[in-house]
Structure 1
Amino acid sequence: MDLKKTLTTPSWHRTLVLRRIIASILLGIAALMFVHSLIKQDPQVVVVLQDIAAGSKVEATDIGLREIPSPHLPKNAFTTEDDVIGLVAASTLSSGEIATKPRFVGTELINSVVSNVTEDSLSEEINMVPLTLAEPSVIPLLQHGDTISVVSQDSDSGLPETIAAGGKVILAGGDDPSTILIALPKTIAENVAARSLNTPLAVVLTGDRAHNNIAEE
């Protein structure tokens, strides 16, 4: 096309030609975008296919892969089924939920719920302790992330004795419905584990959820 000749033609003709050129460019852009949308694939993540109870191990039939648009992709989402199979659900997982690391028992979950267990233990390694309670009927009332104190009865005075404060519930119930899994600084966790061998233990719910429940009442 002779651009010089086009620009010297009558204005209405020139306008028509320019419109056709612009229309061709827009059609070309639209075609490129369409082809790009066909080629581009959303990332695949692991999704729960059926409800998984808290404390249950994930089976291959419980999960599958689904494409999720990047803007809706949660942080710490699993992208491989093999990484999820065999993990223990920290709380009930609902069908259709995207599997993320803090929803399962492990380091990610501990990091998400444990912060400043005690000011004196910020630099101390955090350990998980399975704890069999003297009164397991309270376990269904606990939720992962709850702050608790571990208490017992003083053998001499018979009065309540706090063994550990500021513990975090990692798992309430599971394969053993009388057991909870809690996170504590290493030295405190070892003391609780030792005391649990020959002393009946109980827990007291503290922290924000306990205060909120009192306020609501």
Structure 2
Amino acid sequence: MDLKKTFSTPSWHRTLALRRILASILIGIALLLVAQSWLKKDPLAVVVLQDIPAGSTVTSTDVGLRAVPDTYLPNNSFSSVDDVVGLVAASTLSSGEIATEPRFVGTELINSIVSNVTEESSTEEINMVPLSLAEPSVIPLLQHGDTISVVSQDSDTGLPEKIAAGGKVILAGGTDPSTILIALPKSLAENVAAQSLNTPLAVVLTGDRAKNHHSEK
């Protein structure tokens, strides 16, 4: 085979030119991607700087802004420290975690955990009601998001009386260790609030966590 003749043919020159053009395009794309990664800045998000106990009000020293890659940025995160300062932590927030709306007492938290409202009251507005328990020692056993029933004792028979079912724990303890904050449909919340004025109240843990605890036994 005449190599000199092969390398000097027009088809070989065209192939070589095409390869060079393709290589140039690939190099250009690679350089463009590198330039984009250098120029692109990760969005800023509010991050917890130190542990915040449940029930505590967030201060300006508790949180700060940090660059977080889009891939790891939750949709319900905060981009301004001012939006977080003054909120109440629904559960203990750990240093380094990204602050998100459902981690604080408010509408977003209620929407995220209130899911078992009865059909009769499904169109009712959901209200939060603080509840002082007759036995505060059970509060450390509760977690926000737990499903509970509120019960009392019938003054005549001494038997337990259910006042409301399907409540959701929004905040357990907090600044007042004897009080929990629960979410209920408006009519049930008002009934619980009225009953609590004169009657000692207790809660019974129901829902998935109670079932899981029972099955473990």
TM normalised by structure 2 equals: 0.91
Give the Cα separation in 2 of the matches to 1:28 and 1:76.
Answer: 37
In structure 1, the residue matched to 2:162 is 162
SS class of match (2:61): helix
In structure 2, the residue matched to 1:91 is 91
1:142 is aligned with what amino acid?
L
In structure 2, the residue matched to 1:148 is 148
Give the Cα separation in 2 of the matches to 1:52 and 1:45.
Answer: 17
In structure 2, the residue matched to 1:4 is none
Range with bigger deviation, 47-56 or 121-130: 47-56
Residue by residue over 1:181-208, the C-alpha shift from the partner in whole angstroms, topping out at 9 and shown as x without a partner, is 0011111111110111111111111111
In structure 1, the residue matched to 2:42 is 42
Give the Cα separation in 2 of the matches to 1:213 and 1:29.
Answer: 56
* Count of equivalent residues: 210
2:128 is aligned with what amino acid?
M
- RMSD of Structure 2 on Structure 1 (CA): 1.6
Q: CA deviation at 1:9?
A: 5.3
Give the Cα separation in 1 of the matches to 2:207 and 2:28.
Answer: 61
TM normalised by structure 1 equals: 0.91
In structure 2, the residue matched to 1:171 is 171
Matched, 1:74 2:99: no
- Matched-pair identity in %: 78
Q: CA deviation at 1:168?
A: 0.6
Give the Cα separation in 2 of the matches to 1:117 and 1:25.
Answer: 60
SS class of match (2:148): strand
Range with bigger deviation, 39-48 or 191-200: 39-48
Residue by residue over 1:38-59, the C-alpha shift from the partner in whole angstroms, topping out at 9 and shown as x without a partner, is 2212221111111111111111
Give the Cα separation in 1 of the matches to 2:17 and 2:214.
Answer: 76
Give the Cα separation in 1 of the matches to 2:18 and 2:205.
Answer: 75
In structure 1, the residue matched to 2:29 is 29
1:39 is aligned with what amino acid?
L
Within a 5 Å distance, the mapping from 1:97-136 to structure 2 comes to 97-136=97-136
2:122 is aligned with what amino acid?
L
Range with bigger deviation, 165-174 or 58-67: 58-67
Segments of 5+ residues of structure 2 without an aligned counterpart are 1-7
In structure 2, the residue matched to 1:194 is 194
Range with bigger deviation, 91-100 or 139-148: 91-100
1:141 is aligned with what amino acid?
L
Give the Cα separation in 2 of the matches to 1:18 and 1:182.
Answer: 71
SS class of match (2:150): strand
